Chain A
Amino acid sequence: MHPFAYVAPSTVAEAVAELSKHGDRARPLAGGTDLLVKARANVWELDAVVDIKNIPELMTLTINGSGLSIGAGVPCYQVYDNSEIAAQYPGIVDGASIIGGIQIQSRAGLGGNLCNAAPSGDGIPSLIALSAVAKIASVNGTREVAIENFCTGPSRTVLKAGELLVSIEVPKPAANSGAAYTRFIPRNEMDIAVAGVGVFVQLDASGKNFESARIALASVGPTLILASAAGDSLAGKPVNDETIAAASALARDAATPITDMRGTIEQRKQLVEVLTGRMINKAVERARG
């Protein structure tokens, strides 16, 4: 491991100043469960890590009338142990509670999951399905990027050198809406998704028709995939086996997996179709309360 300096600023301004000083030879440190593995494997050669966990706004969960704000350094267990999040954003809890084991969940968070940009990031599909936005800071100010546009390839994001993810902003779920995420893994725990599907649905007041839907896929492409055609196909349609099967088939078409040690192209496409159907049904169930 290349020897690096450890810096622990207490404000965003200090953190982005430190990051911009080192360019791509510095990285923010949240849970460290990806960063330290990559530094140790010399994937990244770093001169400095900037620990963001002493910056209060990066460690805060806020729920109010406009939605949920998840500080970039908030670990998974704080997300899934929060009863308000569990009640209002169960799709996010579905993802946060299956990343690694308990030890990893003590440290790893959704912000790091997003910045690590693994196509298999279990925390990300629900954020895309829920139309969440990333708040980014740098010495030049702040900007916002929709989560579905954040990851640009395996381990690649829109973040430029010197930029820092501050928080993930999730809009308040509409009335009669629900979300859910699941993945397929051959074990029960501690594994990387062969395929994963996150779904958000909004129903009409009767609960019998879809108003809108968003479907996001994991582990079946170089990035997380927003399967727009699949989600859009449900808008205005009745909730029934036929409409759900049609959307599931469109999700399968949106998947662009590879064959590797975890699964084949055919298996992954099949999984996307099956899991999409299951997650639409689960999201509908949650939407109906």
Chain B
Amino acid sequence: MTTNSPSKVHVTTTINGQQHELLVPGYMSLLDTLRELIGLTGTKEGCLDGNCGACTVNIDGRIVDSCLVLGAEVNGKEVSTIEGMATPEGLHPLQQAFLEEAALQCGICTPGFLVAAKGLLDNEPSPTEGRIRHWLAGNLCRCTGYDKIVRAVQKASD
């Protein structure tokens, strides 16, 4: 039983392949844990209630809204964020496709879209347009109208 009340919880977690040991306040979201404790500010805060997907990260192979996860919950889990997508060799194919298709304007929603789209292509390398649109329904973009985003994901598909 993990009880470090009322203040902080000891968390050991892997983020983008790197192990982290943290003391996290029990009520701190994973989003704030990433941005404020670890300094990974690529994950964005949008609506803070699970509608917009700007804060999407991947935990153990499933995409989630990090505003609706507590930092304490990722003890023993593998988290990947937008910072884990590119490698020293270059951008992830999805990032490259977003650039080439101009699939972003203001960019606030982009990390969430990229992490969400990666979650799809990691498991389904050749999704239909309908499947892409369904998968990304939990990500809102107020600039592009979605067409360019969907085209970019199609371009990065097999």
Given A37-B68, A39-B27, the answer on whether A9 and B138 have CB atoms closer than 8 Å is: no
Given the interface contacts A10-B1, A14-B1, does A107 sit within 8 Å of B137 by beta carbon? no
Q: Is A49 an interface residue (CB 8 A)?
A: yes
Check A175 for interface membership: any CB of B closer than 8 A: no
Q: Which of A97-105, A240-248, A253-261, A270-278 lies at the binding interface?
A: A97-105
Asked whether A47 lies within 8 Å of B6 as measured between CB atoms, the reply is yes
When each residue 1-29 of chain A gets 1 if its CB lies under 8 Å from chain B and 0 otherwise, what string results? 11111111110001000000000000001
Residues of A within 8 A of B5 (CB): 5-7, 48
Residue of A nearest to B67 (CB): A36
Contact (A103, B50) CB under 8 Å given A188-B137, A189-B134, A189-B137: yes
> Which stretch from B13-21, B58-66, B92-100 is at the chain A interface?
B58-66
Q: In the complex, how many angstroms separate the beta carbon of B76 from the nearest chain A beta carbon?
A: 10
Cβ contacts under 8 Å, B50 to chain A: 33, 37, 100, 103-104
Q: Which of B50, B65, B137 has the most CB of A within 10 A?
A: B50
- In the complex, are the beta carbons of B70 and A29 less than 8 A apart? yes
Complex contact B138–A100 (CB within 8 A):
yes
* Those of B1-59 within 8 Å (CB) of chain A: 1-7, 9, 25-27, 29, 48-51, 53, 56, 59
- Nearest to B51 among chain A residues (CB) is A190
Tell me which residues across on chain B come within 8 A of A4, comparing CB atoms: 6, 26-27
Q: Are B6 and A7 in contact (CB under 8 A)?
A: no
- Decide if B129 is an interface residue (CB 8 Å cutoff): no
Residues of A within 8 A of B116 (CB): 102-103
Residues B25 and A3 in contact, CB atoms below 8 Å apart: yes
Query: Given A7-B3, A10-B1, A53-B73, A104 and B29 touching (CB < 8 A)?
Result: no
Q: Is the CB of B62 within 8 A of A106?
A: yes
User: Does A51 sit within 8 A of B, measured CB to CB?
Assistant: yes
Closest Cβ of chain B: how far from A213's Cβ, in Å? Answer: 31
Tell me the complex Cα distance, A210–B5, Å.
56
Q: Are A8 and B137 in contact (CB under 8 A)?
A: no
- Residues of A near B49 (CB, < 8 A) are 37, 40
A238 within 8 Å of B (CB atoms): no
Interface secondary structure of B, over-half rule: mixed
CA distance A10 to B3 in the complex (A): 12
Contact status A104-B138, CB under 8 Å: yes
Q: Flag whether B72 is at the interface (Cβ < 8 A).
A: yes
- Please state if B2 and A107 are interface contacts (CB–CB under 8 Å): no
Q: Which residues of chain B (107-158) have a CB below 8 Å from chain A?
A: 116, 119, 134-135, 137-139
Min Cβ gap B114→A in Å is 14
Whether A103 contacts B1 by the Cβ 8 Å rule is no
Q: Are A33 and B68 in contact (CB under 8 A)?
A: yes
B65 and A104 within 8 A (CB): yes
Is A67 positioned at the interface, with any CB of B under 8 Å from its CB? no
Q: Roughly how many angstroms separate A103 CA and B58 CA in the complex, as a whole number?
A: 9
Residues of B within 8 A of A40 (CB): 48-49
Q: Which of A5, A33, A40, A48 is most buried by chain B, counting CB atoms within 10 A of its CB?
A: A5
Judge whether A184 is part of the interface by a CB distance below 8 angstroms. Answer: no
Q: Are A77 and B62 in contact (CB under 8 A)?
A: yes
Report whether B25 and A103 are in contact in the complex, using a CB–CB cutoff of 8 Å: no
Q: Least Cβ distance of B30 to chain A in Å?
A: 10
Q: Take A5-B6, A36-B68, A189-B134 as given contacts and tell me if A102 and B63 are in contact as well, using a CB distance cutoff of 8 Å.
A: yes
Determine if B69 is an interface residue (Cβ-Cβ < 8 Å). yes
Beyond contacts A6-B2, A39-B27: 14 other A-B pairs, Cβ-Cβ < 8 A, are: A4-B26, A7-B5, A8-B72, A32-B70, A36-B29, A36-B68, A48-B6, A48-B26, A49-B70, A100-B138, A101-B139, A104-B50, A107-B68, A107-B69
Contacts A/B (CB < 8 Å), 24 sampled = A3-B25, A4-B6, A7-B5, A8-B75, A9-B1, A10-B1, A29-B73, A31-B68, A32-B68, A37-B49, A37-B68, A40-B48, A49-B70, A51-B72, A53-B73, A102-B63, A102-B119, A102-B138, A103-B56, A103-B65, A106-B63, A107-B69, A190-B51, A190-B138
